[in-house]
Structure 1
Amino acid sequence: MKISLLGQFGSGNSGNDGSLEAMLIYLRKLRPDAEFLCICSNPAVIEARYNIRCMSVGGPALSAPWARRLDRLLLKLPRRLALLGIAIAQLNGFDLMIIPGTGILDDFQENAFGWPFVIFCWCLVARLCRTEIAFVSIGAGPIKGRLSRWFLVSAAKMASYRSYRDDYSLEYMRSLGVDVSRDHRYPDIAFSLPLPACGPEKSAGEGLCVGVGIMRYRGWQPGESHADAIYENYIRKISAFTNWLVAEGYRVNLFMGDVTDQRACDDIVDILANTVAKADWARVEIASGGGSLHDLMKRISTVDLAVVSRYHNLVCALKLGRPTISLGYARKNDDLMRDFGQQQFCRHIEAFDVDGLQNLFLEMLDNREAIKHQISLVNERFQSQLLEQQQILGKQLLSAPPV
């Protein structure tokens, strides 16, 4: 069986790569005979990490200066036509194309001819090549650009299997005219990844550690007119909250979920260097950017509570049973917290205030044992649901043909 996997993999986002890994673990278990092709952002990274054949999602880059100039003059039409030809050649003979997890059906920080067009293009080619298409536990919406919406809805309608990681995504696609009567609702596939090995036990005198997930957030749309003000406001507030945690005697672990978050972490550290007493710096640990979801889970496994913004930071914290506050930038965070019965601990990344966040943290701290119990119950249900989806995929799309 020949299976392609499509997504923004290898770009430095740990959540995207974790979704790919979770799907590969399942596929290799069910179909060890399968031949894989990953169509992704950075083939070299994914090829080395997962030992599968890869190609660039946009096809080969134009190397000659004159070709690049001509492509720009013609609004990149030559390269887009070339991509269609390359895609047909690559997908010909493939049985299945899977888009595993991620918020693939939204236009966060994208214009229409970015990922919305790419997804549409590859799905169109798959249909032309009679390759089945499956969107598995994906996130959808919002899609604010009209042309982006057309590309992504058209791509979704070409699939023979669709499942969504939250109710909002399913209802959003219904509102855009997609027939969801045969679609499914299953948790994010990253919840099926194996847990990290337990680290050494903390000593009694170490005190509580709080994980703070940093994000370089500049608004929803690329080129947002108030992007600098949004970013600076977030950096100022999360720095003040982190400074308060240290002053209250907590240990703090700063971590990220994407290589682009390194800039935000550096800016926060610069502020903390002027506000945190030198004697307290030993209680602040700072992660480097990038890494896998396994690296992220290992780091989160060392904290007692968490405050995060990125969706897959939230997934990891809840998967590990950590009481968590979500400073989300999209509905997906709120829906996941609601699934875990933790909706009271949601705030928007642009709207939270420092005093309110401090009070919310203290409320979570007082109730952390009951919260951990509630989270554990939902994690058990999620594992059962993901196993159910694997069985459906195996039966509908991955079963071996009769001999």
Structure 2
Amino acid sequence: MFGLFGSGNLGNEGSLEAMVGFLRRERPEAELSCVCREPEVVKQTFGIETLPIRRNGPASGLSGKVNRLLLKIPGKLADFARAFSHVRKADVMIFPGTGILDDFGERPAGMPYDILKWCLAARLAGTRIAFVSIGAGPIRNRLSRLLMTSAARLAHYRSYRDLQSREFMESVGFDTRGDAIYPDLAFGLPAPIPFPRTLPDALRVGVGVMAYRGWYGFADGGQSIFSRYVGKLANFVVYLLDSGHDVRLLTGDDEDSVAVEALLAAVRNLRPDSKLSHGQVHSLGDVMGQMALTDIVVATRFHNIVCALKMCKPTISLSYARKNDVLMEEMGLGEYCQHVERFDVETLVAQFSRLTAARGKHEQGISERLAEFKEQIERQDACLLSSVIG
């Protein structure tokens, strides 16, 4: 298995957890390994063999100087040989879910290059390649787009987590005939039991926060984007508190603790005596457990949205990518979306009021769609067993 795992993004970890669970359940004799960002974390969490995506650190001494003199080509060749040596031992290399084919926060020399490197090594080694329920697009950098689509062409099996991902691939000239659409892998994870409400007159509102600084977080203006986002979200939280609702802050990545602290400070600056709940999370199961303590959710991260819907919670999305909007539309919640960089607080308040009034209808609609997702996930499982894993 290959992906950005172990680095604190719980959506990614949930995708890996779902795939590991499936493989252990259906092929308990299989030997599993994972090529990932933080091997020690993944090894400790899942108890499987791990390998870093690329060699740790640049070469030092004379070899390092020679490598730099030769434009780092020797180092890249050595890294490719290392990838080939590892992947040739496998029967299949799986990319389990995640937005693996977008360049959010990535430069071309990062994951776009690494994905192509490992796919090319697998092809040369005769190892089957499967992209399973992945997200694709946008890939705004042209070089990144070339690298990622070239990698995808090497795959023996491809499925996308939504229609917009497949349409994006088609829009860049990719042949998607034979590529299926199945739900995000996280929808296959077990869900905790919902908690009963204890305050009949007040709503428990989950507010998912994200350390969002623009599509390329390293670009200029990122801190200004973050500050505006937190400021507007603080005004909405104050509205919720003043309306008598209980507010619980939700996260989906270790980095989001920065956003939590910033939001708490902004809210307390407006309402010094405010009280907000926030629980520590270490997996998507924990995130769903936090969702179970809410009645309605307003969130930014894609897998916060997934977890809220998995728990059958009516949801509002402040999205940074089309993937959020597409999922919301699938769940009958398309009118409850705004873009994270342009959302208006008054509009958000109006959306919240409408969603509150229609909670029962939307809970029923989400429940019905989840049943359809379950059937689709089971169909893909059968397809993987028959045509990919064997």
TM-score (norm 1): 0.93
- Greater Cα offset, 85-94 or 321-330: 85-94
Q: Distance in 1 between matches of 2:111 and 2:263?
A: 30
Equivalences for residues 229-378 of structure 1 within 5 A: 229-278=224-273, 280-281=274-275, 284-288=276-280, 291-378=282-369
CA contact 2:194–2:293 (8 Å) conserved in 1: no
Q: Any idea what SS the aligned residue of 1:20 has?
A: helix
Counterpart residue identity of residue 336, structure 1 = L
User: Against the structure 1 CA distance between its residues 68 and 379, is the aligned structure 2 distance closer, same or farther, given a 3 Å change threshold?
Assistant: farther
2:116 corresponding residue in structure 1: 120
Q: Distance in 1 between matches of 2:19 and 2:298?
A: 27
- Greater Cα offset, 69-78 or 144-153: 69-78
Aligned-residue offset at 1:174: 1.4
Counterpart residue identity of residue 41, structure 1 = R
**Number of aligned residues:** 390
| Percent identical | 42
Q: Distance in 1 between matches of 2:225 and 2:247?
A: 24
1:288-332: CA deviation from partner (whole Å, max 9, x where unpaired): 4x6110110100110000000110000000011000000000010
Residue among 187, 193, 216 paired with 2:189 = 193
Counterpart residue identity of residue 239, structure 2 = W
1:83 corresponding residue in structure 2: 79
Counterpart residue identity of residue 156, structure 2 = S
Q: Distance in 1 between matches of 2:389 and 2:19?
A: 13
Matched, 1:226 2:221: yes
Structure 2: gaps (5+ residues): none
User: Against the structure 1 CA distance between its residues 73 and 369, is the aligned structure 2 distance closer, same or farther, given a 3 Å change threshold?
Assistant: farther
Q: Distance in 1 between matches of 2:335 and 2:199?
A: 30
2:38 corresponding residue in structure 1: 42
Q: Distance in 2 between matches of 1:306 and 1:70?
A: 55
Aligned-residue offset at 1:63: 6.4
Aligned-residue offset at 1:384: 0.3
CA contact 1:137–1:187 (8 Å) conserved in 2: yes
Aligned-residue offset at 1:204: 4.0
CA contact 1:340–1:374 (8 Å) conserved in 2: yes
Matched, 1:213 2:205: no
Counterpart residue identity of residue 211, structure 2 = R
Counterpart residue identity of residue 162, structure 1 = R
Aligned-residue offset at 1:94: 1.1
User: Against the structure 1 CA distance between its residues 255 and 75, is the aligned structure 2 distance closer, same or farther, given a 3 Å change threshold?
Assistant: farther
Q: Distance in 2 between matches of 1:26 and 1:265?
A: 34
Q: Any idea what SS the aligned residue of 1:194 has?
A: coil
Q: Any idea what SS the aligned residue of 1:375 has?
A: helix
Matched, 1:396 2:387: yes
Q: Any idea what SS the aligned residue of 1:397 has?
A: helix
Aligned-residue offset at 1:268: 0.8
User: Against the structure 1 CA distance between its residues 69 and 377, is the aligned structure 2 distance closer, same or farther, given a 3 Å change threshold?
Assistant: farther
Q: Any idea what SS the aligned residue of 2:379 has?
A: helix
Q: Distance in 2 between matches of 1:221 and 1:275?
A: 30
Q: Distance in 2 between matches of 1:214 and 1:76?
A: 40
Q: Distance in 2 between matches of 1:49 and 1:107?
A: 27
1:148 corresponding residue in structure 2: 144
Q: Distance in 1 between matches of 2:70 and 2:315?
A: 49
Aligned-residue offset at 1:224: 2.3
CA contact 1:246–1:276 (8 Å) conserved in 2: no
Matched, 1:182 2:185: no
1:161-205: CA deviation from partner (whole Å, max 9, x where unpaired): 000011111011112222111110111011000111444x33245
Q: Distance in 1 between matches of 2:290 and 2:222?
A: 30
User: Against the structure 1 CA distance between its residues 72 and 358, is the aligned structure 2 distance closer, same or farther, given a 3 Å change threshold?
Assistant: farther
Q: Any idea what SS the aligned residue of 2:270 has?
A: coil
- Coordinate RMSD, CA, aligned: 1.6
Aligned-residue offset at 1:206: 7.3
Aligned-residue offset at 1:225: 2.4
CA contact 2:193–2:292 (8 Å) conserved in 1: no
Counterpart residue identity of residue 320, structure 2 = Y
- Greater Cα offset, 79-88 or 38-47: 79-88
User: Against the structure 1 CA distance between its residues 72 and 376, is the aligned structure 2 distance closer, same or farther, given a 3 Å change threshold?
Assistant: farther
1:98 corresponding residue in structure 2: 94
Aligned-residue offset at 1:71: 5.1
